[in-house]
Every structure is written in C-alpha cells, then in structure tokens.
A and B are shown apart, each in its own frame.
Chain A
Amino acid sequence: NAGVTQTPKFQVLKTGQSMTLQCAQDMNHEYMSWYRQDPGMGLRLIHYSVGAGITDQGEVPNGYNVSRSTTEDFPLRLLSAAPSQTSVYFCASSYSIEQETQYFGPGTRLLVL
C-alpha cells in the first residue's frame, strides 16, 4: 500500500492564481480531510469528506473548494490564491469518521507571492 499520497510536494503561486492540490489513498478509507499547518499553530481543518459525494466544511474553509467523486481521491482547490494561504497542507484519511487513527500524507508546501 502506498498509503496517503499528495502532489505536488512544493508549489509557488502568484496572488490570484488557482491550483489543485491532489490527495489519494489506497486503503479504502471512508473519511478524508485536509488540514493546513502554520508556524506556532496547531493543525486546522479545512474540509472533510465522509464518503464519495459527501463533503463538509471545517474550521477554515474560505478560499478552498473540495470534491469527492471517488473513494480514493480528495483534491483541494485554491480558487484565487492569497498570501495568507501560504502554508503546509496535509491530507489525512481514516477508516471511518469515528475516532480512528488518521493516516497523513507527506504534505504540500505552498508559497503564495
């Protein structure tokens, strides 16, 4: 199993550009989520999904969109990048929504100029 994979590893964007961060898991997990990690702060939940076709907002959803067309994939879209979105983004998955061990991808480091 590859686990949770994320692409790209690093990206530089200009303000106003859009992009999609990819996340995939091969463990047949129902629950997937996106977090951002900023210095001196804990992880903050952006969006999550409890299965294909079902998504919901987390703590900091503004400026981000998600979709879940398959169990495996959960892409995160930045609609119009802003410097405040400079961060490290982690995708995570777990077997179910209940308090299960979450498996994290290696992260995407995003710099918005």
Chain B
Amino acid sequence: AQSVTQLGSHVSVSEGALVLLRCNYSSSVPPYLFWYVQYPNQGLQLLLKYTSAATLVKGINGFEAEFKKSETSFHLTKPSAHMSDAAEYFCAVSEGNSNYQLIWGAGTKLIIKP
C-alpha cells in the first residue's frame, strides 16, 4: 500500500537560509506527487505537482521539488526563506490519476526565525 512520510513535524530555519522539507513515499508504480501549503487559518493551496514530466518541478513563491525515483523522494526546497513562508506544508501521493486516491503526509510546520 502506498504511504507518505514527511520527516520532521516542525522545521525551523533562519530568514534567508535554505528551506528543505523532506517527503518520502512508497509506491509500486510511478506516482503523482504534490506539495500543498496551508497558511494560518486558511485552506490548503497547491504549491507544485509532479505528473511524470520533468523531474525538477517549479512551483509558486520560489519553491521547487525534485522527483528522485531511486530514493522514492520528493523533497521541497527554497533557496532563501522569507518570513511569509511560515506555514504548514503537506506532501501527497497518488498511484492513480484520480483525486480521491491521494494519500497525504502528516505535514511539516515551517518556522522562520528573524
């Protein structure tokens, strides 16, 4: 069965530092992969998605993620953190092409230190 693991329920970085949020998945077939962001007191919004095109996916707000099949990973990065990046980030994976098949990670709360 497919699963998603996000390493670290909380990640703290200084403003201007590299952001790295980890996501590993288990899947028997090439998956669809997503990162969503949830700002305080708001619903989730899509950051980026991988659907078997380029392995390096660029998203909104300067974020990008790289699909590494050999490592079954889809880590999210941003070169320089901004205070406005403080939010909770969710990784999601699906083996099928339907939204109801999505399996969600537990989320990582990103804390930005001034």
Question: What is A's interface to B at a CB cutoff of 8 Å?
Answer: 4, 31, 33, 40-45, 48, 56, 58, 90, 92, 94, 97-107
- Cα(A15)–Cα(B107), bound, Å: 29
Q: How many A-B contacts at CB < 8 Å in the complex?
A: 61
Given contacts A42-B90, A42-B106, A42-B107, contact A107 B43 (CB under 8 A): yes
Given contacts A40-B106, A42-B105, A42-B107, contact A33 B99 (CB under 8 A): yes
| Contact A99–B98 (Cβ < 8 Å) | yes
Q: Which of B4, B51, B104 has the most CB of A within 10 A?
A: B104
| Contact B98–A56 (Cβ < 8 Å) | no
Given contacts A42-B107, A104-B45, contact A56 B100 (CB under 8 A): yes
Given contacts A42-B105, A42-B107, A43-B104, contact A97 B44 (CB under 8 A): no
Question: What is B's interface to A at a CB cutoff of 8 Å?
Answer: 4, 9, 32, 41-46, 49, 51, 90, 92, 94, 97-100, 102-107
Tell me how far the C-beta of B69 lies from the nearest C-beta in chain A, rounded to whole angstroms.
18
| Contact A48–B100 (Cβ < 8 Å) | yes
Closest 7 CB pairs of A and B: A42-B104, A104-B43, A43-B104, A104-B44, A101-B46, A99-B32, A48-B100
| Contact B43–A4 (Cβ < 8 Å) | yes
Tell me how far the C-beta of A42 lies from the nearest C-beta in chain B, rounded to whole angstroms.
3
| Contact B9–A40 (Cβ < 8 Å) | yes
